[in-house]
Structure 1
Amino acid sequence: MKLTAITLDCQWVDDHQAPRRPDQAAPQQFHLDFAVDDLDEAEALLLKSGAVEPEYQPGGDRWRVFPDPAGHPFCLTRS
């Protein structure tokens, strides 16, 4: 599997509160989507590397959600 491009998109959030480190009342927020050619292959690689797949997958066959080590979700999407 090879990484071919990185795109970062931003989304407006109503009532956003900027984070104030180290205060966690408004923690840092971000979400990353990684586009892959084969969801099953990418998922297998993540699971082999120690990732844990949540029970609930809202994206069906279009995307898959995984938590990073701190618990922040990221997604694998079809490229």
Structure 2
Amino acid sequence: MAAVARLRNVVIDCPDPRALAEFYARVGGGTPEVQADDWVVLQIPDGPRLAFQTAPGYTPPDWPRADHDSQQFHLDFDAGSTWEEVDAAEKKVLELGARLLHAADKEDWRVYADPAGHPFCLCRIEHP
């Protein structure tokens, strides 16, 4: 099927675009580019272009919620193929200010909140 357009950015609302872009640069790589006081762009190497914008009155998603309302969005990061790699990645994101939301023994992913409260996952991906 022919595309109508190409995806340019995944835009993330937050109270402090510079700080959140720096957090994700440390998680996924790249260098944040401040384009305006309320707009910072981060190109993840070999990945998506993320844009962070100031949202006055920002309220983070509440995940998980008993009523199962949408979490708005989340980002998945490949943290390696072994649990040792995932554990090392977890230690680093927690040091950067993430907060663990969900981990279960039989799941190949763990859910965290970034410093602005958006959920993201570190995933164990078996590489061929």
- TM-score calculated relative to the size of structure 2: 0.37
Give the letter aligned to residue 47 of structure 1.
Answer: L
Flag as ranges the 4+ runs of structure 1 deviating above 3 A. 1-5, 58-61
Residue 96 of structure 2 is matched in structure 1 by: 49
Report the number of matched residues: 63
Residues 1:32 and 1:39: Cα distance change in structure 2 (over 3 Å):
same
User: 1:23-57, CA deviations, whole angstroms, 9 ceiling, x for partnerless residues?
Assistant: x8xx9x32110001111010011112222212x42
Question: CA RMSD of the aligned region, Å?
Answer: 3.5
Q: Structure 1, unaligned stretches of length 5 or more? A: 8-20
Q: Please say which structure displays the higher CA radius of gyration.
A: 2
**Equivalent pairs: percent with the same residue?**
44
Higher helix share: 2
Q: Give how far 1:70 is off.
A: 2.2
- Larger relative CO (CA 8 A, sep 6+): 1 or 2? 1
Q: Structure 2, unaligned stretches of length 5 or more? A: 1-26, 30-44, 49-54, 62-71
Counterpart-to-counterpart distance in 2, 1:32 and 1:59? 21
